[in-house]
Structure formats: C-alpha cells, structure tokens
Chains A and B, each alone.
Chain A
C-alpha cells in the first residue's frame, strides 16, 4: 500500500492535509530500549495521522510494539525520537486530554464504582459544583449499565463490570483522544460482545477520537473506521491500513451481513499470517 491509504483521500485536497482535521499526529516515531546487548529498536519511522471523530483499531502480532506506541501517546512512556502531537501540540507527559482504558480495569479496589469515576471527574471539572460533578459521574455509569452499582466496592464487581467502570471513567473526563489498550482482552467472548456494544453506543454519542489495540479481528472491524496493521518487531512500523466503510451507527447484525465483511476479514487475516 502506498501513502495514499495512510492519509485518507477524502480528507486531502491536492494531496495537502487539512491540519485542522488531524487530531493525533505521529511522525517519525521511534522507540529504543537499551539492553546489555545493545539498543533494541521497537518502533522506527512510524507515521500515522488520526482524524477528529475517527475510531481507529490497531492490530498486529504480540510484542510488535502496539502497546508501546499507545503508552507513548498516553505520555506514560518517553519517546526516543520523532513526534507525537495532539491538535498540533506536542505531547509532554500524561494528561487527562488523553483518556486511557487499560487492559486490566485498574480500578482502585478500595473505592466504590462512583468514587472511581469521581476521582477523574473531580480532577478535570474542578471548577464545577459538587452536584454537577456527581451528575457527570452518575450519567456515565448509567450509560455503561451500572445504575444499580454506584456504591459497590470495585473489588466486589466482576471483571466485566469493572471494565464498564473503566469505560465510564475514561469517557467522564471528556478527553480529546481515547486510548484503549486491549480493554476486552481478559473477558469471555459473551461479555466482550456486550462491552463492545456499550462502547460503540457511547462513542456514537460522544464521537471522541479513539485508538484501540486489539487482537480480535472481528472486534477490529466492528468498531473501526480504519484498521491499522503493524508489522512484527523489531523496527515495527505500519504495514497496511484498511478502511472500513460500514455506515454508522452500526449493529453487529448489519456488519456481519454486509457483503464486504468477509473481504475485510480475509484481508486482515492474510496480513497477520504473512
């Protein structure tokens, strides 16, 4: 694939990008881990632009550096070279403009579901009244279907419920970019489906630019506007990009019955197997 696919054609005019449409811009991104045997280059010359209101999924073999890339965007992992910019501003460390949903729910087990969401809300909406902040937190907990569990301790919730709180926590701080690091990887397939539906439902309302790592080909197609395929490391980069042209809002049924579904699926699996 040429660079034409990396930059969505619909968003270019004479090959020049409208900068205002780009939410997240990775250029010449590089990550090196020093080892006793010399430097280990995880990522090199990685270029990627993600548009506003776009949902992108990233797929690739384990250990190819997907998570490294995501944690660099989150600012939790320093970059070795190149640039990451959000709306043109270079990323310097973590911040609530980039919400993260981690692989493990990472809730504070000693807090209730509501307190966990409030932890972020209090921080981001510090100027709002207590009631307003409470309402925000409760609104998102309702959205993920936890209206009855506000005051349950996080440690008492099931893994799936905990990840719902994780979703509510990430959306409630109204980030510019949402980063999801295999958020459903530890769940059984039934729960995973439920949570995908919840995620896409909230996302349809909020349209927060999202970057999600996944191992699951079907999940990648169902959620994404574009699927980014990464080559295997070391020196991983973007191997291929697949545009998913399903209409939104989508339902699982309509996606599965779509004529292109199996073409997309085959494309992804072919990439992963070679």
Chain B
C-alpha cells in the first residue's frame, strides 16, 4: 500500500515503473530481503575479514622488519644510531621505511596516486598534441612521419596494453586451436597421430614458449625498426593458452552423442551438413569450456611473458616496480595484482555469458 502512495506523489511520469517496483517490493516482502541481506552480508563480512587479516599480517611483517633494522643499527653503530633509526621509522620518513607487504590502506593510496598520475599524463599528451599540431601537419604534407608522444605510459594505458595482448593472444589461440581441434576430433587416426604432439607441448612453460617465439619473430623482424614486443608477447600468450581449447574441441567433436550421429547416418547427411549441423553445435559447450580455460590461462601467463618481452603491459609494470624498489612500489604491485584478478574475473563472466547464449544445455558450467 505504501508503495502506491509514494508513486502517486511522484506523478504520472514514473507510472511505468510501478509494475517493476511492485514486483521488486513484493519479492522483498516475502522475506527475500532477509535472505538477500544474509547473502550480501556474508560477502561483505568475508571481504572485511580478508582486509582485516591482511592488515594484521602486513603490520606484523612491518614490525618484524622495523625491529630488525633497529637491532642492526644497535649492534653495528650503537645506541645513538638505533634511537635515530627508531625515530626515523616512527616519523614515516620514506628513506628508512621497512619495505615489506603493504597494508590495504597503502594499496588504496597507490591506486589513487596511479589514477592521478594517469590524469597528469593524459593532460601532458593533450598539451603535446596541441603543440605539435601545426608541425605535424607540415610533416605529413611533406610526406614524413608525424611526431608522436613518447613519454611514460600511464597505468591505464598499461592495463589497456595488457588487455589488448590477452585478446590478441586469445584470438590467435581460437584461430589455431578450434579448427585443428575439429579436424583431429573428426578423425581417430589423426587424433592418435597428433596426440604425442599435444602431450609434449601442453606442459611447456610460458617462458620457453616466449623464447621459442622470440627466436622466430626476431629473425622475421630483422631490419625492421618497429617494436616487436607486442607481437612476441601476444603470440607467446596465444601458444601457451591454446591447449585447453585444442584438447576440449577435439574431445567435444569426437564424443558427440551416438544418437545424433545415427540420426545423421539414417538421413544420409553430407559431411558438410554433418559437421556444421550436428557435430559442431553439439560440441559447442565443451569448446566454450575450453575457451574459458584458455582465457584464464592467457591472463595467468601474461605477466611472465610481458616481463620477458619488455612489452608495455602489466607484466613489465610489475617487474619494473619490483626493480625500482621505491617506497610505494610494493603497493603498486599489489594494485596490479588486483587489477589483473578483477579483469580476469570479468572476462570469465563474459565468456560464461556467451557460452550460455550459444549452448543448448542451460545451467551448465559455474
């Protein structure tokens, strides 16, 4: 009843919301509010618990390292130095801070500083583009290359590069693994012929894949001054990640329900029809499960490969921050870790959505 009154107050304009609101409220009225609160309450509680443990853990580590530093000053330089060290650590001066696992608050601060940094760099870029506009026009008119901004990449640019790398790698994996998987799935003799190949190359480490791709791409790019780090990293990511899709596609295609195959036989469907109307649709769920695994593996190996390939992505960012050893480096690494995790999670949800859209068995996969 209350709902009606408030709606009237809001006027005719929102009348179309009424059924929705009624549905929503009636849903909550039936005790769903409590169960919803319970559900989200547990989630919030678990997050709070996680943050709390993290905070306590980092504090313990901080104290351990601080005590060690003071102790060391005491044994090596005497009481005076120890007191100075203690005062320095307590003052929060960056020169003597213990460099250990950062607390949640530090990570949060780093995230904000990274975003602020991004804004500065974007402004820089815009200013640069404006300044160079006239010059570039002239250069292009003369048939020369325009001058582009070559300053530091911001954190957001780095994340975008990583996403680009993963998508390119994923696409490569899809283009290689799905057709090959279908072909070897269709033919038992090809399957046994390819089996050793898959078994040997599947467990190869990302680092080795990188080196292999590097050997080949380096030679292909000889004499070409353009940056090949991106090419090397996306090919390596694709090669590392494609195996799950290859194996799942082959399995899906080779294990199509015998009844469907019998129907195709009785109807005397041609090979093309059989593959595209019967075999592929029925193996789509397994193919998509493979693609989901491929995407998550791609994210996992990305860091190692970008680091090695010196590609301007999160992998290199993490490594440079680690080498850098600045006061907020550790918390920036943790920020990168969360960003990778969250993007990976979102991509997985995206894949699940696509999978549910194309597959006939709903409620499959979690």
Residues of A whose CB lies within 8 Å of any CB of B are: 74-76, 93-96, 98-100, 102, 104, 106, 108-111, 119-120, 123-124, 153, 155, 173
Contacts and interface: CB of A to CB of B under 8 A. Distances in A.
20 contacts: A74-B262, A76-B262, A76-B265, A76-B266, A95-B266, A96-B268, A99-B266, A100-B266, A106-B259, A108-B260, A108-B263, A108-B281, A108-B282, A109-B361, A110-B281, A110-B360, A119-B263, A119-B269, A123-B273, A155-B362
B267 A119 contact: yes
Contact of B268 (A94, A102, A109): A94
B277 interface: yes
Contact of A102 (B262, B281, B360): B262
Interface in B208-265: 257, 259-260, 262-263, 265
B365 to A, nearest CB: 16
Contacts of A94: 262, 265-266, 268
Contacts of A102: 259, 262-263
Contacts of B267: 96, 119-120, 123-124, 173
Interface in B331-366: 359-362
A110 B267 CA distance: 18
Contacts of A153: 360
A110 B281 CA distance: 7
Interface in B258-313: 259-260, 262-263, 265-269, 273, 277-278, 281-282, 284
A106 B263 contact: yes
A155 B356 CA distance: 14
A100 B282 contact: no
Q: Say whether chain B's binding surface is mostly helix, strand, loop, or mixed.
A: helix
Interface residues of B, number: 20
A75 B173 CA distance: 40
Contacts, number: 59
Please indicate which of the listed interface residues B263, B265, B277 has the most CB atoms of chain A within 10 Å of its own CB: B263
Contacts of A98: 266
Given A76-B265, A123-B273, 19 more contacts: A74-B262, A75-B265, A94-B262, A95-B266, A95-B268, A98-B266, A102-B262, A106-B260, A106-B262, A106-B263, A108-B281, A110-B282, A111-B281, A119-B267, A119-B277, A123-B269, A124-B267, A155-B361, A173-B267
Contacts of A100: 262-263, 266
Please indicate which of the listed interface residues B268, B269, B278, B361 has the most CB atoms of chain A within 10 Å of its own CB: B268
A175 to B, nearest CB: 9
A123 B268 contact: yes
A254 to B, nearest CB: 34
A109 B259 contact: no
Nearest to B358: A110
A95 B257 CA distance: 19
A69 to B, nearest CB: 16
Contacts of B284: 110
Contacts of A104: 259
Contacts of A124: 267
Across the A-B interface, give the 3 residue pairs with the lowest CB-CB distance, nearest first: A106-B259, A110-B360, A109-B360
Contacts of B278: 108
A25 B248 CA distance: 44
A33 to B, nearest CB: 17
Contacts of B359: 110
A74 B266 contact: yes
Contacts of A120: 267
A97 B100 CA distance: 77
Contacts of B277: 108, 119
A111 B360 CA distance: 9
A170 to B, nearest CB: 9
A125 B91 CA distance: 88
A96 B266 contact: yes
A119 B266 CA distance: 11
B229 to A, nearest CB: 42
Nearest to B277: A119
A95 B265 CA distance: 7
Contacts of B282: 108, 110
B286 to A, nearest CB: 14
A106 B359 CA distance: 17
Contacts of B265: 75-76, 93-94
A123 B284 CA distance: 24
A228 B328 CA distance: 86
A139 to B, nearest CB: 18
Contacts of A155: 360-362
B280 to A, nearest CB: 10
Please indicate which of the listed interface residues A96, A106, A173 has the most CB atoms of chain B within 10 Å of its own CB: A106
A124 B273 CA distance: 13
Interface string B153-175: 00000000000000000000000
Please indicate which of the listed interface residues B267, B278, B281, B361 has the most CB atoms of chain A within 10 Å of its own CB: B267
A119 B278 CA distance: 10
Contacts of B360: 109-110, 153, 155
Contacts of A76: 262, 265-266
A241 B252 CA distance: 45
Contacts of B281: 108, 110-111
